[in-house]
């Protein structure tokens, strides 16, 4: 089957070019002025941008988080993803108490397979580090597992790693080619906050419990460790101007990247001050004084824009006793809003916005996830994950998730319309709706965990 996407403006190497795109056998076959007669199927893209499929580099789905279970499973998350041009969902496998990482990976894969509408890639969160565990992580690399997530906080959840531990892992696994995704909030600073006298019935107090200094210090410590050990580092959900500036200043010295999230750009702590402010509790918290941070990100400072999509059921979010905000589940949805909010960074210049998406929501995340050879750009031989994006569709409210969770971007609207989304060459979305909702076609991008079990 040959498909021709014609008359669109195609994002290619940081420019927009009037090109036709020929797709064959799930891959990009050719770019240029091409004859419609040579194709079995023609997709008109006049007036639209033709962009590489998007990737949300940071999402949480179908997982237990403390006492709560996430509102989105693989089916609902990948549905809202693909309907908004996201052809690859990156999410996490966290090794739980009493299980091996391989067992946790097999469980996640069983949840995802047959239910995912877009492709899925897992970042791994190991929580035990015996010599066998380290050997397992090294053995997983050729199977496409290149990214490990570490946390500088969350002792109670059993996922905390000390700076010594992080440095040790950088030293032992960095040379093997593993990239480290690190949640940077210094646990010492957070632990030293004196909560007596603080009004824990107000969501805004969250900003005092997890202050900016905690993120800034952890970023400094982790960046310095990565440079010292020449490890590849990606700092997730950066929310502070000073933290971002430290990363920008040190990026030329090593293999360092970072992401920020829509909520740190277009929401601020005033949302926490609302009567229902607990619905916007996430960690790191929403911050104040967003203008200089927004301007830095507008200039392209963040390698990746990703959501940290972490939706909880409305009743779980609202079910706290209004006395201790620390009992509210931390996280909010964002997945379906990602391209719409990223677009807003540059909405005064639509061409720049389209290229911004191609760089920060397609190319860079694909490179950092280790799949840049097949995802993230429209080049011959690569997967034909492709978005035909009309910037002038009807205005509609943002919808971050189809699950029963409070919308994080209440009152926000977008005119971006996803006329067509192709997943590995197959048209799967027409005008923002799945065309074959009963036939999920997403695939895991990594080898089956059973391939790594000892025989």
Contacts with Zn ion by CB under 5 A lie at 308
Closest approach of Zn ion to the CB of residue 365, in Å: 14
Query: Of 10 and 190, which CB lies nearer to Zn ion in the complex structure?
Result: 190
278: preceding bond cis by omega (within 30 degrees): no
Closest approach of Zn ion to the CB of residue 261, in Å: 9
439: left (phi over 0), alpha (psi -120 to 50) or beta: beta
Query: Of 259 and 308, which CB lies nearer to Zn ion in the complex structure?
Result: 308
Closest approach of Zn ion to the CB of residue 296, in Å: 21
Closest approach of Zn ion to the CB of residue 340, in Å: 20
Query: Of 3 and 91, which CB lies nearer to Zn ion in the complex structure?
Result: 91
Task: Find, among 157, 156, 211, 154, the residue nearest to 182 by Cα.
Answer: 154
Query: Of 261 and 378, which CB lies nearer to Zn ion in the complex structure?
Result: 261
Query: Of 180 and 418, which CB lies nearer to Zn ion in the complex structure?
Result: 180
Query: Of 20 and 63, which CB lies nearer to Zn ion in the complex structure?
Result: 63
- Rounded Cα distance between 238 and 303, Å, is 11
Closest approach of Zn ion to the CB of residue 58, in Å: 6
Closest approach of Zn ion to the CB of residue 6, in Å: 39
452 near 141, Cβ under 8 Å?
no
- Rounded Cα distance between 2 and 361, Å, is 27
Closest approach of Zn ion to the CB of residue 193, in Å: 21
Query: Of 61 and 106, which CB lies nearer to Zn ion in the complex structure?
Result: 61
Query: Of 89 and 423, which CB lies nearer to Zn ion in the complex structure?
Result: 89
Query: Of 308 and 383, which CB lies nearer to Zn ion in the complex structure?
Result: 308
Closest approach of Zn ion to the CB of residue 308, in Å: 4
Residue whose C-beta lies closest to Zn ion: 308
Closest approach of Zn ion to the CB of residue 157, in Å: 12
Closest approach of Zn ion to the CB of residue 118, in Å: 19
As a three-state string, the secondary structure of the chain is CEEEEEEEEEEECCEEEEEEEEEECCEEEEEECCCHHHCCEEEECCCCEEEECEEEEEECCCCEECCEEECCCHHHHHHHHHHCCEEEEEEEEECCCCCCHHHHHHHHHHHHCCCCCCEEEEEEECCCCCHHHHHHHHHHHHHCCCEEEEECCCCCCCCECCHHHHHHHHHHHHHHCCEEEEECCCHHHHHHCCCCCCCCCCHHHHHHHCCHHHHHHHHHHHHHHHHHHCCEEEECCCCCHHHHHHHHHHHHHCCEEEEECHHHHHCCHHHCCCCCHHHHCCCCCCCCCCHHHHHHHHCCCCCEECCCECCECHHHHHCCCCCCHHHCCCCCCCHHHHHHHHHHCCCCCHHHHHHHHHHHHHHHHHHHHCCCCCCCCCCCCCECCEEEEECCCCCEECCCCCCCCCCCCCCCEECCEEEEEEECCEEEEECCEECCCCCCCCCECCCCHHHHCCC
17 near 9, Cβ under 8 Å?
yes
Greatest CA separation for the chain? 74
Query: Of 306 and 398, which CB lies nearer to Zn ion in the complex structure?
Result: 306
Query: Of 205 and 283, which CB lies nearer to Zn ion in the complex structure?
Result: 283
Query: Of 308 and 385, which CB lies nearer to Zn ion in the complex structure?
Result: 308
Closest approach of Zn ion to the CB of residue 3, in Å: 36
Task: Find, among 60, 54, 94, 85, the residue nearest to 74 by Cα.
Answer: 60
Closest approach of Zn ion to the CB of residue 80, in Å: 17
């Amino acid at each position: 089957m040959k498909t021709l996407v014609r008359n669109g403006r195609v994002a290619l190497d940081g420019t927009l070019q009037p090109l036709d795109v020929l797709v064959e056998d799930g891959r990009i076959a050719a770019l240029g002025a091409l004859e419609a007669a040579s194709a079995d199927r023609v997709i008109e893209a006049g007036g639209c941008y033709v962009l590489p499929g998007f990737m949300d580099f940071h999402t949480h789905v179908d997982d237990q988080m403390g006492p709560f279970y996430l509102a989105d499973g693989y089916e609902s998350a990948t549905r809202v993803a693909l309907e908004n041009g996201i052809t690859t969902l990156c999410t996490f496998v966290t090794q739980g108490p009493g299980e091996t990482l391989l067992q946790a990976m097999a469980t996640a894969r069983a949840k995802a397979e047959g239910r995912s509408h877009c492709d899925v890639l897992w970042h791994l969160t190991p929580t035990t580090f015996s010599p066998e565990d380290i050997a397992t992580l090294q053995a997983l690399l050729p199977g496409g597992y290149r990214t490990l997530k570490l946390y500088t906080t969350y002792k109670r959840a059993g996922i905390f790693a000390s700076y010594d531990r992080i440095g040790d892992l950088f030293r032992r696994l960095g040379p093997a080619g593993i990239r480290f995704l690190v949640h940077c909030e210094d646990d010492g600073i957070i632990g030293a906050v004196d909560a007596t006298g603080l009004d824990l019935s107000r969501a805004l107090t969250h900003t005092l419990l997890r202050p900016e200094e905690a993120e800034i210090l952890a970023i400094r410590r982790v960046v310095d460790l990565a440079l010292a050990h020449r490890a590849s580092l990606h700092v997730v959900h950066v929310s502070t101007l000073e933290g971002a500036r430290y990363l920008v200043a040190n990026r030329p010295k090593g293999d360092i990247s970072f992401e920020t999230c829509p909520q740190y750009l277009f929401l601020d702590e005033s949302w926490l001050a609302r009567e229902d402010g607990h619905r916007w509790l996430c960690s790191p918290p929403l911050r104040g004084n967003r203008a200089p941070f927004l301007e830095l990100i507008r200039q392209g400072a963040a390698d990746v824009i990703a959501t940290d999509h972490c939706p909880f059921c409305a009743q779980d979010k609202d079910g706290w006793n209004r006395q201790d905000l620390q009992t509210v589940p931390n996280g909010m949805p964002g997945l379906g809003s990602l391209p719409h909010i990223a677009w807003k960074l540059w909405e005064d210049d639509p061409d720049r916005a389209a290229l911004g998406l191609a760089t920060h929501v397609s190319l860079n995340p694909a490179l950092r996830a280790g799949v840049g050879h097949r995802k993230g750009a429209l080049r011959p031989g690569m997967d034909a994950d492709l978005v035909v994006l009309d910037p002038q569709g009807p205005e509609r409210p943002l919808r971050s998730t189809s699950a029963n969770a409070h919308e994080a971007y209440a009152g926000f609207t977008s005119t971006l319309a996803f006329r067509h989304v192709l997943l590995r060459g197959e048209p799967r979305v027409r005008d923002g709706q799945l065309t074959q909702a009963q036939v999920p076609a997403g695939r895991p991008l990594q080898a089956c965990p059973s391939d790594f079990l000892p025989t």
